[in-house]
Structure 1
């Protein structure tokens, strides 16, 4: 991008991206070379870094965010997860091949296409009962690794938790509602 190709507010945006390491601003020597090449003075220029190219490639390959959820299909429930909860769920999705208890069918697609509600600061997913149980299991696994916050909130909000039965030592799904 050369100085004449951008409006001032866009130039500020590029400078902000440069501060994140996604673009680099041309130094004096590069601007002199560009000026000679263009046949006019170049006072400002920027180009994407390799990481900037990767961000564009990644976001281009990602599904477009859904502005609004479509209506629920029979048997589905709207689940809203905090960002930290969605992060924990994504970790669970990433270890699928190593798990002995299979994830619910279709959960991976629902997680991949979840939409983020900015005003509510929540990820929204429409899930079946089986998928909700898988989410509860993911949060149970998280609770065994250190944080019980996700499992506790999910149990309060959606009434589904996993607990170890102290008498038998087996894991049980408990529906609180």
Structure 2
């Protein structure tokens, strides 16, 4: 039986992502979908990217781009879009690269640069880091950066949550 696991923001937490992967014990037929934000926060962002590139060689993984990954990609490519990132939010990421050999940086830049902004699977389920506002769907969103930063889907889900009937048998641990 095919299973799909969706994993959200890792934010440089190498130990945590290793524990998650170990806990789910992915099978050959499983798909792991990562929703972005692999960097910034915990101190092992570069090591997380290294781990994910290795994981991709062993499992069916779909990696999506998050807003923090966008900033890190710019920095690795020598074009930091935001001094705010390199002087504040990205400091732990930059420090993590000081612990990694420079030869890994081009591989990490390639990894981040090829990440799609969203994924629609065979069951027509949409996966993305943040949200979109275009009624035609994410492929029509302009500017596309909204797919990394827009929180309107989350806000709508929170607003509707009180009206949604839950099925406890679908919840983890049931």
Normalised to the residue count of structure 2, the TM-score between the two structures is: 0.21
Normalised to the residue count of structure 1, the TM-score between the two structures is: 0.21
**Max Rg structure:** 1
Higher strand share: 1
